[in-house]
Structure 1
Amino acid sequence: MMKNVDISRDSFDPANGFSRVIWQQGRVQLDADLNEQASIMLRTLRTMMIDLTGRYGGPFAACGFRVLLTEEDLVEEVVAQDRDEVVVMLRQLERTDLIISKGRYYVDGILCENDRFLHYSQHAGAEHRGRGIEAAGCYLVYLDVWEREVTALDDEAMSEVALGGADTAARMRVVWQVRTATLRERARGFMNMNPPWPELLAGWQNRHRGALRVRAREVDSQSAAGMGEARATYRGPENQLYRIEIHQGGKSGERPRPSFKFSRDNGVVAFRVESLAEDCLTVTLREWARDETMGIAVGQIVELVDEERLLHGGAGALPKVVWVDPASRQIKVDTALRKHASREGEALILRRWDQQPGEPRKGGLELVDGAAQIVEDEWLALEDGIEVMFERSPTHVYRSGDYWLVAARVATGDVIWPQHGGEPAALPPQGVEHHYAPLALVEVGSEGDGVKMILPLTRCFGRHAVDNVPDEVFVFSEHG
């Protein structure tokens, strides 16, 4: 995601075919170079895992994310101490619940690790949290995997106390979530599910999630020549890394209308929340900004982010700041900030966004509840000469959280953006990419019966792999 990460730009592009970054003596070294080297190696390793083991699978001796419902689901490689623990869990298992085994699993080459046997009901989203699967029907249990950034705001241990708590490097974390999808009818196997796997994937992550063009506003050629100006006119006082992020997803023309938000510094202006008043209008921050540029002021737009929203997505409120008191580190907003019930120890973050309303008839932004409305095939003015255009297409389905990064540079008065035929190219979102793998088909009876296994779908590689996995799962592995 790379949000709230203070980088100069993201220079990695797999289409370049670069195999490594080579340091040169006497040259300026940039964060982008180091980050590109890490991205090159990570892509190489993950691609190799896919080529060797398929789109998903785990090692035979430590294959995680198996769905367990009875003692018959236990496999021989479960070691003695784990077997005793799991047998107890299974005997005490509620009829609406299931157990996810510990171990390792690779999804599109991404290593997912589960360090303990867990109850699905304690891990699931709001629909099944604390209750499990109650409604009768047939379900696909699957694994959703993606990456998110972690900074000192999320994990204070990343600050270096020897340097006065200074912020250092950020990290990317693999996040996984076991989810369920309701099927229209009872499935006999993976290949005859209704809806089929490709349809489910398209619903979770449409291939066409919007395309964006970005430019610095062009100046009329005659006036530019008379004033000695270049055509590109980024007028910001500093180099910036703009983040354009989808807020409300959906199709253009539908209700609610899809919208976006932007930050001129990749969402870096964010603060850990110390407390939120009962009316959810006044926020007390853990610390205050070091200067006005990195602070929060009256009239700006903020968003409250918690772990639940990061896991399950969705668009939160974007209220306007109406009062600020640096001495008490408090701000007040005009609309209540609703937060989920975050678990103890999880950070609550307040992030600033920089969109402001303009005159829509002149390309300015139309804000509804703090979010800029997406208008396709029209140039929309962000600020300081930066303009964006969302390309029109009937197949585009915008998804909350998807984003584009745009580097703006004072030296050229322009943005760094690929060109096609002399015009800004229309690019799909840079992320967030989700990766999916089926885990099991289960069923809940209409007579109050508990969850029953239809077919396990986890795939093991290594010793005896072929004997323990249905052939149809290998078909999916080949076609994704």
Structure 2
Amino acid sequence: MHGDFSNITFSPDRGYSAVFDLQGRVGLDADRNEQTAILLHQLRGALADLMGPHAGPAGPGLGFAITDPAAADFTIGAGRYYVDGIGVGDSAETTYAKQPHAVLDVAGADKLPRGRYLVYLKVWERHVTEVEDPRLHEPALGLHHPDTSSRAQVVWQVRAVPVPAGEVSLEGWVEEWIAAAASMDHKGVLQVRARRPQDADDDPCAAPSDAGYTGENQLYRVEIRSGGTPKDGASFAWSRDNGSVIYPILATDGPVVQVSGLGRDRHTTLEIGQWVEAVDDAVSLRRELGWPRPAAPLRQVVDLDVELSTVTLDAPPPAIDLEGHPYLRRWDHTPPGKSPDGAIPVTEAQAARKDMGWIPLERGIEVRFLAGERGKPQRYRTGDYWVFPARRTLGDVIWHHPQGSGPHGVVYHYAPLAVVQGEEVTGWRTAFALPLTHGL
């Protein structure tokens, strides 16, 4: 999530069950956020153990029934459902074209497949600030106060994918497709290290004399901009603030964008030469696909007007919806040469070649993407990301994966709902029976 966090410390393999505050100690956002993550992990794990990977309450509460298929639409029933223990609810009957958490091009890229197709439920969490949801703002604190907190929102979308023609075991194919879609394998492997740059400041007050990292305390984010393989043009961007520095958009006029402000301090001030991404609700809800496909190119800041709070970009940003809570997100990378999307091309290296393929970010930090077995290229997914802290006192990054790590997110969860062919619907939902209660 693109939050302004000091660190993200939760790891399920540690087996922690609680976080204890100690008297008289400094409170950290990371500790409180880890406590929430521990409880959610335990709750969702218990629900998945009891219900299975996907199920809903038997009876009228079982949600997401697929009915009334037409050439370009179908009905999605109201009710509850659980996917990997994550509860989702459709409070009112809706349709494929009008579902609340999807921005669909039903006449083009999102048109329902012809012939037989699988209807599935896709669930994940996204980060929401008061820019996306103004109701999070507390007016008593003033119009321009720093935001106090943000939220994680469970998002669900009903999508469709064609079933292969010919003789195929439908049950086996559905299970395999759902498992492959949810898998985080082959989405890229990243390594991170810090090496002291040759032009580093040797002032002992700035960092330890043997420091590899010579910057401040930061939470770095490496995010895939355009997916596919390196040959397809896979690319990435990085941020030293976890991609959390944003500027709400008020109006646009070609390449000139008016924002609510250019930053609250020297760390968040937008500067000429930096690269930004235009985001609205449609982009946020289709991060893994890009909108339009592939991810829209980044734009470079070529001029600023502090008095008018306007930003002039090197080209007009992609069309955005001013009613869709738009903003500019700042990225801190510098793309090499003429980058087609304003990002850095993904290049891969073999793990055995320890000093080959490293890509410098800044202040000694380097990353590299590892190829798969026998040099097979990885296939990256737009929106997937890695986060890692860098600490001045250590003069290093904190990275617990010397052999490399797959993406830290986004984690998508999938459940089959139905198979549709013409007007025929074969249900694929699972129901669990609520236990009977008895009086004392």
- In structure 1, the residue matched to 2:431 is 460
| Residue 322 (structure 1) aligned with residue 302 (structure 2) | yes
User: Does the 8 Å contact 1:96/1:133 carry over to 2?
Assistant: yes
Q: Which residue of 2 aligns with 1:362?
A: none
8 A Cα contact 1:306 1:339, kept in partner: no
Q: Comparing both structures, which one devotes a greater share of its residues to helix?
A: 1
Could you give the per-residue CA deviations for residues 193-232 of structure 1, whole angstroms, max 9, x where no partner exists? 4xx4324643575522111111111479xxx9xxx96443
Matched, 1:115 2:91: yes
Distance 1:184 1:99 in 2: 23
Is 1:416 matched up with 2:398? yes
CA distance in structure 1 between the aligned counterparts of 2:56 and 2:108, rounded to whole angstroms: 28
Contact (CA 8 Å) 1:417, 1:425: kept in 2 or not?
no
Once the two structures are overlaid, the 10-residue window that deviates more, 18-27 or 198-207, is 198-207
Task: Give CA deviations for 1:20-64 in whole Å, capped at 9, x if unaligned.
Answer: 111211222211110111111100000000100100111124111
Alignment of 1:146-295 (within 5 A): 146-165=124-143, 166=145, 167-185=147-165, 190-193=170-173, 196-199=174-177, 201-202=179-180, 207-218=185-196, 230-236=209-215, 238-252=216-230, 254-255=231-232, 257-277=233-253, 279=254, 281-295=255-269
Q: How does 1:399-438 map to 2 (within 5 A)?
A: 399-418=381-400, 424-438=402-416
1:98 deviation in Å?
Answer: 1.0
Is the contact made by 1:122 and 1:129 (CA closer than 8 Å) also made in structure 2?
no
Measured in 1, the distance between the counterparts of 2:414 and 2:341 equals: 33
Partner SS for 1:19: coil
Structure 2, unpaired ranges of 5+: 350-356, 436-440
Deviations 1:363-420 (CA, angstroms, capped at 9, x unpaired)? xx9844310111222111101111111112126211111111111111111111115x
Q: Does 1:370 align with 2:342?
A: yes
Per-residue deviation, residues 220-250 of structure 1 (Å, max 9, x unmatched): 9xxx9xxx964432111x2111111011111
Q: Is the 8 A contact 1:211 1:426 kept in 2?
A: yes
Which piece of structure 1 moves more, 308-317 or 146-155?
308-317
Corresponding letter in the other structure for 1:66: A
**TM-score where L is the length of structure 2:** 0.86
2:348 is paired with a residue whose SS is coil
The answer (yes or no) to whether the contact 2:74–2:96 under 8 Å persists in 1 is: yes
2:364 is matched with which residue: 371, 377, 385? 385
CA contact (8 A) 2:245 2:329 kept: yes
Q: Distance in 2 between matches of 1:379 and 1:325?
A: 38
Tell whether the 8 Å contact from 2:185 to 2:406 is kept in structure 1 after alignment: no
Residue 39 in structure 1 maps to residue 13 in structure 2: no
CA contact (8 A) 1:144 1:176 kept: yes
2:311 equivalent to 1:331 = yes
Distance of 1:187 and 1:99 partners within structure 2: 28
Match of 2:282 among 308, 330, 339: 308
Q: Distance in 2 between matches of 1:250 and 1:391?
A: 14
Task: State the 1:357 CA deviation.
Answer: 4.1
Structure 2 counterpart of 1:67: 66
Q: Tell me if the contact between 1:121 and 1:131 (Cα under 8 Å) persists in the aligned partners.
A: no
Residue type at the aligned position of 1:414:
D
State the superposition RMSD in angstroms.
Answer: 2.6
- Counterpart AA for 1:160: E
Partner of 2:331: 353
Quote the residue 2:73 is aligned against. 97
Are residues 241 and 210 of structure 1, via their aligned partners in 2, closer, same or farther at CA, if it must alter by over 3 Å? same
CA contact (8 A) 2:56 2:82 kept: yes
Q: TM-score, normalised by structure 1?
A: 0.79
Q: Which has the larger radius of gyration?
A: 1
Mind listing any 5+ residue stretches in structure 1 that lack a counterpart? 71-93, 359-364, 445-451, 465-480
In the aligned structure 2, how far is the partner of 1:303 from the partner of 1:379?
Answer: 25
CA spacing shift, 1:134–1:375, aligned 2, 3 Å? closer
* AA in 2 matched with 1:178: V
Go from structure 1 to structure 2 and tell me whether the alpha carbon gap of 1:270 and 1:407 turns closer, same or farther (over 3 Å shift): same
Out of 271, 286, 302, the residue aligned to residue 297 of structure 1 is 271
1:12 to 2:10 alignment? yes
Identity of aligned residues (%): 39
- Contact 2:278/2:327 (8 A) holds in 1: yes
Whether the aligned pair in 1 keeps the contact of 2:80 and 2:89 (CA below 8 Å) is yes
- What is the distance in 2 between the residues matched to 1:197 and 1:324? 53
Question: How far did residue 115 of structure 1 move?
Answer: 1.0
